[in-house]
Structure 1
Amino acid sequence: MPSQQKKIIFCMAGVLSFACALGVVTALGTPLWIKATVLCKTGALLVNASRQELDKFMGEMQYGLFHGEGVRQCGLGARPFRFSFFPDLLKVIPVSIHVNVILFSAIFIVLTMVGAAFFMYNAFGKPFETLHGPLGLYLLSFISVALWLPATRYQAQGSCGCLVMILFASEVKIHHLSEKIANYKEGTYVYKTQSEKYAISIWVIFICFFVHFLNVLLIRLAGFQFPFAKSKDSETTNVAADLMY
């Protein structure tokens, strides 16, 4: 492939990686990870509310990794509230999981930025053969998505983007994060989660996760072999060299 086309492909991959880094940074600071509706179970049981009357006891909330807001309703009108995870909710949330979500999000941003720099360096600079060359781009992309590389000594231990989604989903679903937030400092009423859905920020992480797969395909499209794929020519050369000696 001509060098000009390779530059264009590497520039595209670099722009995609940089856009992903900006997207994850934005997602990290916004309270748009989860949107949930909560039912005031205590109030609904006291008045024996029917299905039509449950709307008066239905509240909602949205939150991210650092803060959130919502509205509680228990038949007496809406009560808006705001909260932050640090330091307000440290006693009720699984702190280790929550901190790991933030940590892996930060690592994901750093890896994506480094990958973008490598792509731009390969497009406009004179890359070295190992770290800065195609092997370095493959390595960064594979680490970012945590692909297991068979038949090589490189084995990614975990995907930052994938771990962020898995850990956050376990925190929300297994540890009932929305209920813990809704029942924080509520001594009289008990709230139960009715519905939860992932908001835009978690889908940004999901898209950025798959962009790294796209980057791997772009590297291959530029004409570089996968690091674990050995060409037949090299194998023939090795065999000939062995026969000579």
Structure 2
Amino acid sequence: MPSTKKTLHFLSSALVTSISVGVMGYCMSTQWAETTMECTKSGESFTNGSAVITWKLFVGDLNRYYCPLFGYTEEFEVIPKLVKAEEVASVVLHALVLCLLALCLLCSACSILISLYNSVGNPYETYMGPIGLYVCSSLSACFSVLALILFAVNLTVTSMAYKLVKITTESVQADLRNMSTEMMLGYYLVLLYSVLSLAAIALIYMYAHAAYTHRREQQRPTEDAPKEIMMY
């Protein structure tokens, strides 16, 4: 049976990782960003309207205010709408973001299982020991940061926001300019998920370092013994 100290460290790691999974689950269901742009009727210079797109991972909301005429509100599914707008690069990047977040959840699940296994057993030298947890939690943190980067690039570098507004104005064409994007709660919660994944690693590293130090102290070379004892 593992020691009480080991059990507490690994159970704490499992708890922290479980919290991170809950954070990830919530952030995947809430708003990630809001894109705003000025809008006028094509050929006019006076700006009297705007378009606002609120992004979630799977659905979004488009609100046009006098852009170019009157108001318009639509809830849309992100990937099908991007396909309709013929934004191939945006579809690929958004699909990659979803895949990376799914991999984060898978790696976190593995980390929880490994932590629980180590809290009741001693597979210390195998891939089911601390090394396995280091790998899974590190991958979770790396995948989540990469997903954040790809999501931000997709919003700021590609023209998907412009295209989505353009295809809803139909026959009355609009001029769009001065686009700005603000990241929202869902986006920043992924950073918290990354921090919690690293915290799970830190908890196990603290235990592993303490255990290594304890073993070194027990295996002190004989030259550290008193000379009168060595004579015998």
Q: TM-score range by the shorter chain?
A: 0.7 to 0.9
Q: CA separation of 1:169/1:80 partners in 2, compared to 1, >3 Å: closer, same or farther?
A: same
Which residue, 181, 186, 193 being the options, matches 1:196?
A: 181
Whether 1:72 and 2:64 are equivalent positions in the alignment is yes
RMSD, aligned CA: 2.9
After superposition, where does 1:1-245 map in structure 2 within 5 Å?
A: 3-30=3-30, 32-42=31-41, 46=44, 48-49=45-46, 54=47, 56-73=48-65, 74=67, 76-90=69-83, 91-94=86-89, 95-123=91-119, 125-129=120-124, 130-145=126-141, 159-187=142-170, 188-221=173-206, 223-225=207-209
Structure number with higher helix proportion: 2
Q: Which amino acid aligns with 1:144?
A: S
- Check the 8 A contact 1:10/1:119 in 2, yes or no: yes
1:109 deviates by 0.8
Following superposition, which runs of at least 4 residues in structure 1 exceed 3 angstroms of deviation? none
Greater radius of gyration (CA): 2
| Change in CA separation of 1:92 and 1:225 when aligned onto 2, cut-off 3 Å | same
Residue-by-residue CA offset, 1:42-96 (whole Å, 9 max, x unaligned): 36x62x43xxxx5x41232201222100210236433212211232321225222
Q: Match of 2:121, SS?
A: coil
CA distance in 2, matches of 1:41, 1:12: 56
Tell me if structure 2 keeps the 8 A contact 1:66–1:84.
Answer: yes
Q: Which amino acid aligns with 1:79?
A: Y
* Greater alpha carbon shift after TM alignment, 2-11 vs 56-65: 2-11
Structure 2 gaps, min length 5: 222-232
Instruction: Please state whether the residue corresponding to 2:189 is helix, strand or coil.
Output: helix
CA distance in 2, matches of 1:80, 1:185: 10
What's the % identity of the aligned pairs? 19
CA distance in 2, matches of 1:27, 1:93: 25
In structure 1, stretches of 5+ residues that fail to align are 146-158, 238-245
Offset at 1:36? 1.7
1:112–1:143 distance in 2 versus 1, CA, 3 Å? same
Aligned to 1:224, the other structure's residue is in SS state helix
- CA gap of 1:38–1:122, structure 2 versus 1, over 3 A, is same
Q: Do the aligned partners of 2:58 and 2:77 also contact (CA within 8 Å) in 1?
A: yes
Superposition deviation, residue 232 in structure 1: 7.6
* TM value normalised by structure 2: 0.78
Aligned length: 210
Q: Is the 8 A contact 2:104 2:139 kept in 1?
A: no
Matches of 2:88 and 2:153 in 1, distance apart? 12
**Residues 161 and 209 in structure 1, CA contact (< 8 A), matched pair in contact too:** yes
